[in-house]
């Protein structure tokens, strides 16, 4: 299966400039009404090949709060200051969060609060983007549908 190990290439002509001076200060938790770009520090840089083989660097979007009776979707981009130029198959698109609507069984139609988190594996993504030695990543959250609140972003290591 040749496609099993195939990875999309980085999008050409996308600004990966990490000039954090151009980033606005963001305070969490926040309601995601428009695209938000945040610099997220990596706990460790320059991991050895052995460390990469036994552990995955993971971006955690924590404290995701939604109304369970409404559909919610947002996309997560890494090191794509111009996320609008990235196609759905672009390497900078790290993942998407989607929660389908779940109507209440009691028939009241009242909101059901859902709180969860999202994890995105970063090892291959960082390698493909040439960001493996960067001390921080630029993460952009882009709302696509519905209302959502985000509690925070962090990078952790998970051992396999």
For 37-71, write each residue's pLDDT tens digit. Answer: 999 999 888 777 888 788 899 999 999 999 988 99
Is the pLDDT assigned to residue 104 strictly greater than 80?
no
Interatomic CA distance for residues 40 and 135, integer angstroms: 9
- Assess contact for 83 and 77: CB atoms under 8 A: yes
Q: For residue 16, which of 77, 73, 81 has the smallest C-alpha distance?
A: 81
Whole-number pLDDT of residue 105: 66
Residues paired with 119 in a beta bridge: 60
Task: State the pLDDT at residue 48.
Answer: 77
Domain residue ranges in the chain: 28-159
User: Higher pLDDT residue, 102 or 87?
Assistant: 87
**Residue scoring higher pLDDT (50 or 3):** 50
CATH of 28-159, one of 3.30.2120, 1.10.3470, 2.60.310, 1.10.1740: 2.60.310
Cα–Cα distance for residue pair 106/63, rounded to 1 Å = 26
CB 122 within 8 A of CB 58: yes
Query: Percent of the chain having pLDDT more than 90?
Result: 54
Q: What is the mean pLDDT of the chain?
A: 87
Question: Considering the entire predicted model, what is its pTM?
Answer: 0.87
Over range 62-81, report the average pLDDT.
Answer: 94
Pairwise pLDDT comparison (160 vs 152), residue with the higher score: 152
Report the share of the chain in percent with pLDDT over 70.
90
């Amino acid at each position: 299966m040749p496609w099993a190990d195939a990875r999309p290439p980085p999008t050409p002509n996308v600004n990966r400039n990490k000039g954090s001076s151009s980033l606005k200060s963001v305070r969490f938790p926040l309601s995601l009404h428009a695209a938000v770009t945040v610099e997220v520090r990596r706990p460790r840089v320059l991991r050895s090949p052995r460390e990469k083989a036994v552990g995955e660097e993971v971006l955690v979007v924590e404290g995701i709060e939604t109304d369970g009776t409404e559909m919610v979707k947002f996309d997560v981009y890494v090191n794509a200051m111009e996320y609008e130029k990235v196609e759905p198959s672009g390497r900078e698109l790290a993942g998407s969060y989607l929660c389908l609507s779940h109507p209440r069984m009691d028939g009241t139609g009242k909101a059901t609060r859902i709180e969860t988190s999202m994890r995105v594996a970063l090892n291959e993504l960082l390698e493909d983007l040439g960001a493996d030695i960067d001390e921080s990543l630029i993460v952009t959250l882009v709302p696509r549908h519905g209302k959502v609140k985000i509690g925070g972003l962090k990078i952790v290591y998970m051992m396999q």
